[in-house]
Homo-oligomer: A and B are copies of this chain.
Amino acid sequence: MTVSHLADVEYFEAYDQLEVHALMLEDSQRLGSYLAAIRAHDLKDKLVLDVGAGSGILSMLCAKHGLAKHVWAVEAVPGMARMAQQLVQANGLQDKVTILTGRVEDITLPNKMDIIISEWMGFYLLHESMLESVLIARDRFLRAQGRMLPCSARIWAALVEAEDLRLDMANYEDFLGLDLRLVGEQQLAARTAEPRVEEVHGRRILAEPLVAVDLTDLHQLRVEGTRNLEAQLSFRTWRQGYAAGIAFWFDVGFGRDVILKTDPGSPPTHWKQTVVYFGAFPAVESGDVLEANVVLKQSEENPRQYNISVETL
């Protein structure tokens, strides 16, 4: 039968941390929203540009289900572009979909586009996001009155508990008769030093979630419009609890009532939520007001990275 020669163990969790492209395909919320948008907007006879096309799935859906006149699928990674090309051929769509290998900043197109579609969103919307490239593509290629899919985006913020984490720390105080508080403190520091991508259960939320960033119209947003975002948030707690940090998530709108949501109450997506931990667990009473200043600042070294800073007052 089969022979496997295997060199090393992958430490990731099987079925859990899937490869990026499997995630794209297996995240039914994500793809379902795009398909709903493709169907809600009349793409028939339209020229479409797909920015960061990956496997070309959105381009093929535009051609097959949206009956687009032609789709240009731009993908910068040569291996992905080759795969997209093979998939387009396997589906007999080579007359409808053209794969262009390169950055959208560098390519040329024969026409102005009616539609720009792109799945550019990263963790908490902006982490590793391609939004700037999509906005540059808009300025270069979208015709007047052309449509962006999606066309709006919001980042939400919520004050959350982390009782598992807080109580874990308490266990170290008497651990099989030993005082391991030092381990607990180091663990807490290690686990809260970086923002964490995790599934936040709704019951952890301590106060009404607030919109931290509102990009109301991606047709109008300046290319530099997301480099330095700041929000003053005022959370009024619903109940007594222990504040552990601020959870972020996003939604994007496609118009015609199609919204892709990634909040804790919606079906899970691979984006989950992102929590910035305080590293401490201040007690709050019902009705307390906690003011937080949130800054999202694009890294100058790597424009796809953001520094998040949360300051509570």
Point out residues on A near B: beta carbons under 8 Å. Answer: 1-19, 21-22, 25-26, 31, 35, 55, 57, 60-61, 64-65, 83, 86-87, 90-91, 123-124, 127, 164-165, 168, 172, 175-183, 186-187, 190-198, 274-280, 282, 299, 305, 307-313
Interface of A, secondary structure class, is mixed
- CA–CA, A16 and B226, complex, Å: 32
- CA–CA, A25 and B168, complex, Å: 11
Q: Is the CB of A305 within 8 A of B183?
A: no
Q: How far is the CB of A301 from chain B (nearest CB, A)?
A: 10
Q: Is the CB of A182 within 8 A of B25?
A: no
A15 CB contacts on chain B under 8 angstroms: 164-165, 198
Q: Is the CB of B2 within 8 A of A312?
A: yes
Given A13-B16, A25-B183, A280-B1, is A6 in contact with B83 using a C-beta cutoff of 8 Å? no
> Which of B13, B176, B193 contacts A17, CB < 8 Å?
B13
A282 CB contacts on chain B under 8 angstroms: 1
- CA–CA, A6 and B192, complex, Å: 10
Q: Is the CB of B90 within 8 A of A179?
A: yes
Q: How far is the CB of A43 from chain B (nearest CB, A)?
A: 15
> Which of B13, B25, B178, B190 contacts A180, CB < 8 Å?
B25
Q: Is the CB of B178 within 8 A of A64?
A: yes
Q: Is the CB of A275 within 8 A of B182?
A: no
> Which of B13, B186, B198, B309 contacts A6, CB < 8 Å?
B309
- CA–CA, A313 and B3, complex, Å: 9
- CA–CA, A16 and B311, complex, Å: 27
- CA–CA, A65 and B35, complex, Å: 62
Q: Is the CB of A83 within 8 A of B190?
A: no
Q: Is the CB of B178 within 8 A of A310?
A: no
Given A90-B179, A309-B4, is A198 in contact with B13 using a C-beta cutoff of 8 Å? yes
A190 CB contacts on chain B under 8 angstroms: 19
Q: Is the CB of B123 within 8 A of A191?
A: no
